[in-house]
Amino acid sequence: MSAVRESVASAARVDAILSVRDLTVRFGSLVAVNGVSFDARRGHITSVIGPNGAGKSSLFNLISGAFRPSAGRVVFDGHKVTGASPDRMLAAGLARSFQITNLFFELPVRENLRLAAQFLANGRGLLRPVASGRAALQRVDELIERFGLQPKADELAGFLSHGEQRRLEIAVALAARPRMLLLDEPTQGMSHTDTQETAAMIRGLAAESLSILLVEHDVDLVMNLSDHVVVMHQGHKLAEGPPQQVRSDPAVQAAYFGDANHA
Ligand SMILES: Nc1ncnc2c1ncn2[C@@H]1O[C@H](COP(=O)(O)OP(=O)(O)OP(=O)(O)O)[C@@H](O)[C@H]1O
């Protein structure tokens, strides 16, 4: 490798908050994710797209620690976190929001946020304090305002609308001040208006230096939001690059947009 290429490669590495290398997961004879490598840069919105069954959710689950890879590694902020549980990932600064899985429906909105701001789970069902009660309450107030949840703050999470629950889910993921947020289809099941609001919210978070990895079906949303797009197809990485470059890549058009047009 030439000196210039080497220094460019090294600059890219310095800027990467998340590096995925040769990540692979097999389910029996099916290789759902097959040797996938990419970097997500600090403060950027990186998105993973691909047609149905491409391996997006499996990749998300591998990165967030829900699945253990058959091979490959995940490095977050310089630390190897391959196969670490979601709780350990959160403690390291990598939060995930996966549909509506982090909410206590029988508790008020405010209490859901307070628990997430004050404690981290340790994977054995035990909670360890990470912020004082006062600091946690301050964080809760910030998040309630930030996510427009003031009118709902004292309602039970189970009584919120679907869109509000998705918003609260993201607020809960952010309560412990992670440096990176993984989002799996954050606008799934949302109205057009809620989708636009969520997109603006994601953009706002990135503008405040939060690094974001988005796994998403909605091509237009991804193309509008992302700094960098990774396209998956049949478990492999098919292409990656800035949105416009990826959109015009003939292999992507054939494999992805062709399929999408006929979906
Ligand atoms: N836990 C599992 N056990 C067995 N096979 C699985 C499992 N999870 C996913 N698969 C298979 O792996 C392949 C990739 O699935 P995955 O859900 O990762 O794709 P996707 O791109 O997220 O698809 P979609 O957009 O439809 O959600 C599919 O063939 C799926 O059936």
110, β-bridge pairs: none
pLDDT (tens place) for every residue of the chain, 263 residues total = 554 454 445 445 558 999 999 999 999 999 999 999 999 999 999 999 998 899 999 999 999 888 999 999 999 999 999 988 888 888 889 998 876 667 899 999 999 999 888 876 655 566 666 667 778 889 999 999 999 899 999 999 999 988 888 889 999 999 988 999 999 988 888 888 888 888 998 999 999 989 999 998 888 899 999 999 999 999 999 999 999 999 999 998 887 656 544 33
- CATH 3.40.50.300 positions along the chain are 1-93+179-263
Asked if 76 and 92 touch (Cβ cutoff 8 Å), the reply is yes
In 3D space, the residue among 145, 137, 91 whose CA is nearest the CA of residue 117 turns out to be: 137
Identify the pLDDT of residue 195.
Answer: 87
Write down the pLDDT at residue 8.
47
Q: What's the CA-to-centroid distance between 115 and ligand 1, angstroms? A: 32
Question: How many residues in the chain?
Answer: 263
Q: Classify 1-93+179-263 by CATH class.
A: alpha beta
Q: Report pLDDT digits (tens) over 65-114.
A: 889 999 999 999 999 999 888 888 888 899 988 766 678 999 999 999 99
Question: What are the two backbone dihedrals, phi and then psi, of residue 127, each rounded to the nearest 5 degrees?
Answer: -110, 140
Pocket test for ligand 1, best of 29, 58, 187 (most atoms within 8 A of CB): 58
Tell me the C-alpha to C-alpha distance, in Å, between residue 128 and each of 101, 143, 175: 20, 21, 14
Pocket test for ligand 1, best of 23, 25, 26, 56 (most atoms within 8 A of CB): 56
* CA 203 to centroid of ligand 1, rounded, Å: 28
Find the residues whose C-beta lies inside 6 A of ligand 1: 27, 30, 32, 50, 52-58, 217
Name residues whose C-beta falls within 8 Å of residue 51's C-beta, 6 or more positions apart in sequence.
233, 255, 256, 259, 260, 263
Do strands 119-121 and 16-27 pair parallel, antiparallel, or not at all (unpaired)? unpaired
- Sequence letter at residue 160: L
* Pocket mutation for ligand 1, best pick of 23, 47, 57, 231 (most atoms within 8 Å of C-beta): 57
Q: Tell me the CA–centroid distance for residue 221 and ligand 1, in Å.
A: 22
In sequence order, which residues have a C-beta less than 8 Å from that of residue 129 and are 6 or more positions away? 118, 119
- Residue 27 CA: which ligand 1 atom is closest? 4
